[in-house]
Amino acid sequence: MNTPLSQLIPAIDISKPVAMAILPGTPMMPKSAALALWVGKPGDQNSGIFVSINANLTPYILYSARQNDFSGIALAIDHTAISTFSNRLVDPQTLHNAPIRQAQIEGLPLKVYLYANSWLAENTQFALLLGVVCGLLAGLLCYYVLTIKSDPRKSILLGIKNNQFYIVYQPVVNAQTLRISGVEVLMRWRHPVVGEFRPTFLLTWPKPSR
């Protein structure tokens, strides 16, 4: 085959000392992507070494199956890349996930992109466990606060401090003579939220706290 390289692979510029391109296939393996590398001869722009390497990322997929951190890899030259996410050539900018790492190969126009799952299954389990623990702690804290606030002794002391109690005088009538024989002093409680408590409320409330 006597075909100029510039016509065979237009993406490679043979005037450069080193040039690379990603091909969708080769004549021997048309369905397998390949990396084409041109290394020019110093002092002669029309001479050099051309190499094409079939790029097979299957070994990486088998290796990464045991890894929980990485989900894929992409090899990119300019706006063309091969990746473990697709069997065809893609633009690395059009991939849904952003790479967590990218490296430029020194001396070559080749970039390596590493992709990882942003939220692993282990992280989900830890997040659920943390949520359950935080929920239990918040529930216990709310129960403790409500228990303190519902303590009758503290409520009575707070009512005394805020002058919510007042005195009521009630006459005492003799059942035989039907005459007033004395005065009964009663204490009433006017709560700012609940309102007026019934007279027997103060007698029954402190009993459970004994």
Torsion-angle region of residue 176: left (phi > 0), alpha (psi -120 to 50) or beta?
Answer: alpha
Q: Is the pLDDT of residue 114 over 80?
A: yes
Q: What is the mean pLDDT of residues 100-115?
A: 85
Confidence of residue 94 (pLDDT cuts 50, 70, 90): confident
For the entire predicted model, the pTM comes to 0.49
Better-scored residue on pLDDT, 142 or 118: 142
Domain-by-domain residue ranges, the chain?
A: 5-116, 119-150, 152-210
Q: Is the pLDDT of residue 104 over 50?
A: yes
Q: What is the three-class DSSP state of 65?
A: coil
Q: Measured between alpha carbons, how far is 21 from 73 in angstroms, rounded to an integer?
A: 17
Q: Measured between alpha carbons, how far is 165 from 156 in angstroms, rounded to an integer?
A: 9
For residue range 43-69, list pLDDT tens digits in order: 777 788 888 887 777 666 555 555 556
Q: Measured between alpha carbons, how far is 189 from 167 in angstroms, rounded to an integer?
A: 9
- Tracing tokens 């393996």 back to the chain, one arrives at 29
Q: Kindly state the percentage of the chain with pLDDT values over 70.
A: 78
For residue range 166-205, list pLDDT tens digits in order: 888 888 888 888 888 888 888 888 888 778 877 666 666 5
Confidence of residue 137 (pLDDT cuts 50, 70, 90): very high
